[in-house]
A and B are shown apart, each in its own frame.
Chain A
Amino acid sequence: MSAHLQLQDIGCEKGQQPLFSGLDYSLAKGELLHVAGENGSGKTTLLRILAGVNRDYSGNVLWNGENIRTHWPVYAQDILYIGHQPAIKAQLTARENLLWYAHCVGATATQASAALSDMGLRNKADIPCHQLSAGQQRRVVLARLIFSQQALWILDEPLTALDAKGFEPILQCLRNHLQRGGITVMTTHHGMEKINLPHRQLLLGDA
């Protein structure tokens, strides 16, 4: 897969205060970027900009050389964005939630079931998600990674509430993804040591 992400002079304001400015960065295939910084330094904002959800910024984001503002539909197909909040429906079961995401990326129901089993949710697949714990809900969301074919993963605090057992398949997924030539941009407060993959770090706030 072709994958090249470039940030050109990205800046963003919150209220009247500049959150960050003049960010230049380039990521090639197979690279993992850890966006670090204190609370409120703009990590989530930067990830939302990269995901194309927040368009209120200056500068350009280029994906394979094309500006994502003008080539949005193409770019949107290439990214998988998992935000701070789980984006699952509490009234639906884990299986129903994941099936919709599977349909959206052209994966099959079998793949969705297999992904739930991989995440250790085989026995919990048909329980409404509001009855699951925070960690189990996180597993449901992250199961999307297992059948994802997208080249760019944007993960905001994916490891929150996740225990060691849920962490293992995710690590495997990340490794495979990077080996395939995918790019990952993620934030995490803990566990970059646990992930133990070669990565680069972008420190927000301090600079």
Chain B
Amino acid sequence: MNILLATFHREWQLAWRNLADAVNPVAFFLMVIALVPLGTGTDKTLLAAIAPGILWVAALLASLLSVDMLFRRDYDDSTLEQYLLLPDCLYGIVWIKVLVHWLFSGLPLVLISPLLGMMLSLPPVAMPVLMLSLALGTISLSLIGAIGAALTVSLRRGGLLIAVIVLPLYIPVLIFGASATAQAAGGIFPAGQLAILGACALFALGLSPLVVMAGLKNALES
């Protein structure tokens, strides 16, 4: 337990000192949403209709953008080898790394999403569901993305490969997230979609670290 607390503390410190990493996904998210009305015109009904989809696609790509760095530095400075020598804590360490990564890349997306929703004329009534669905969804996206990051960490240029591995697994999250937001915009509470997003997040919270551990062990055997 002590090791996990120390690891959390260290990851937290590192995240603050690499704050530029956290700015990238938010800036990407912001730019995409700011550019959409310039492309489609400012017809409010049109914007409101496409807002859930656009917001979700942009959040998904922003999340994909940041996940590549998840284990890269640890691999480069061979901290990863030291993690492997803590076999009893490895599951927890992976979990903490993804959690801190989410706090600095996923959570900011959730927090600014109402503002961006407003820019796309999304009805205010849909904002709570937008935030909740993005919160549950980005946790899943970070955990799924971690699998891709672990599998490609030993490759010099794994950027595109991550997308190929991870995007098919992102699609269910995208479908249910966008549909939840769209339904909320129509005034119906999307209990079913949110339940599925929650289930996805829990499923990924439990299983993704196991796959990541296997991927990291494999990456070091060369």
Give the interface of A toward B (CB within 8 A): 48, 51-56, 72-73, 76, 79, 81, 83-92, 96, 99-101, 103-104, 106, 128
Contacts and interface: CB of A to CB of B under 8 A. Distances in A.
Contact of B86 (A51, A86, A91, A104): A104
Contacts of B87: 72-73, 76
B74 to A, nearest CB: 9
Contact of A100 (B10, B73, B220): B10
Interface string B82-99: 101111100000000000
B77 interface: yes
Contacts of B13: 91-92, 96
A119 B172 CA distance: 54
B81 A104 contact: no
Nearest to B5: A103
B202 interface: no
B42 interface: no
Nearest to B7: A100
Interface string B191-222: 00000000000000000000000000100111
B6 A54 contact: no
Nearest to A49: B221
8 tightest Cβ-Cβ pairs between the two chains A and B = A103-B6, A91-B17, A85-B78, A73-B87, A56-B221, A87-B78, A53-B81, A100-B10
B77 A55 contact: no
Nearest to A14: B222
Nearest to B86: A104
A52 B17 contact: no
Given A83-B78, A85-B77, A96-B13, 7 more contacts: A53-B85, A53-B220, A89-B77, A89-B79, A91-B18, A100-B10, A104-B82
A20 B10 CA distance: 39
B3 interface: yes
A99 B78 contact: no
Given A85-B77, A100-B7, A53 B84 contact: yes
B10 A92 contact: yes
A103 B78 contact: no
A88 B81 CA distance: 12
B14 interface: yes
A111 to B, nearest CB: 14
B40 interface: no
B3 A51 contact: no
A108 B3 CA distance: 12
A90 B3 contact: no
B10 A96 contact: yes
Contacts of A90: 77
Given A54-B220, A79-B85, A96-B13, A103 B2 contact: yes
A170 B100 CA distance: 35
Contacts of B18: 91
Nearest to A92: B13
Give the residue among B18, B79, B81 with the most A Cβ atoms within 10 A. B81
B88 A81 contact: no
Contact of A104 (B3, B221, B222): B3
A74 B163 CA distance: 38
A48 B7 CA distance: 23
B195 to A, nearest CB: 38
